Amino acid sequence: MLLRNTMLWLAGNDLVKRTIVRTPLSRALARRFVAGETREDALAAARTLNQGGASVSLDYLGENVHSAAEAEATTRTYCDLLHRIAEHGLNCNVSLKLTALGLDIQRELCVRNMRQVLDVARQTNSFVRIDMEGSDYTQLTLDLWEELFRDHGYQNVGIVLQSYLYRSAADTERAIQLRARVRLCKGAYKEGREIAYPNKVDVDRNFVALARRLLCDGNYPGLATHDPAIIAWTKRFVTEHGIDRSSFEFQMLYGIRRDLQRELLADGYRLRIYVPFGEAWYPYLMRRMAERPANLLFILRSLRHG
């Protein structure tokens, strides 16, 4: 827990960020978990993963933008990505954060930008996943997502729910009722025990409970986990209950547990790899270190062998 809290603190420390991002070695190490800084890097990574049998979700890194111009630039990037994905015939969709499209600035701006992205996704027969951010944004994100999905008729937009939040059981039931697509993950932000399970065993137990509901009654859920025990449970559960493997997918992060990724594909399961790219890689990398200490050990080993 101390390591996790330290890494999350580092993720938000501007002084540490400025120091680390200037280090060539740290940028090189980031390439293990981030496809690169350009759209070409991201599309190349997606093509390689598709060739290996995995589908992809591309995420242009950068959240909490400070101006409408930045939000509109991010919107254009996503629209271009969707066109490029279609042109290249890739098995790929996109993931985005609402604060990258201007949620902190003005809700109407964010909605307008989201509708632009969703319109292009509709034209290109693609799908957009709204990522979940810290708990300050949970209700805002769910409200805006449901407005787009239910009121504006965008059936090509899904949501992310986090098993470390107490509220996610109710949010899962709402998503099932709406027949919306959910990515279920554990959660990578620092949250207080008044709203989130403080112990890993409880987070894992809730993940399994929510996964069970989504596998039985959800609409093509994505189970985002690198946990071998949860993956083994999922395999047993779908076999015992006769759940078709085509009705859900596993999801994993780019560069993490490649061994498990290969095993799932070899066993005939659907797998989507979440591929981040962009210059704003530092906060993402720190959260990945906090989420799984083995990722930090990988970096330390790389430093040692320099």
Q: Write out the catalytic residue numbers.
A: 131, 183
For 207-269, where are the E strands, in sequence order?
A: 222-224, 249-253
Q: Give CA 200 to chain center in angstroms.
A: 19
Joined tokens for residue 270: 């659907």
Q: Which of 56, 124, 144 is nearest to 94 (CA)?
A: 56
DSSP-derived secondary structure for 143-157: HHHHIIIIIS--TTE
Q: Which of 166, 183, 196 is nearest to 272 (CA)?
A: 183
189-198: burial string, b at 16+ Cβ within 10 Å, e else: bbbeeeebbe
Angle between helices 200-217 and 168-178 in degrees, nearest 10: 10
261-272: burial string, b at 16+ Cβ within 10 Å, e else: beebeeeebbbb
For 237-287, where are the E strands, in sequence order?
A: 249-253, 271-277
Cα-Cα end-to-end distance for the chain: 28
Separation in Å, CA 229 to CA 198, 204, 224: 20, 10, 13
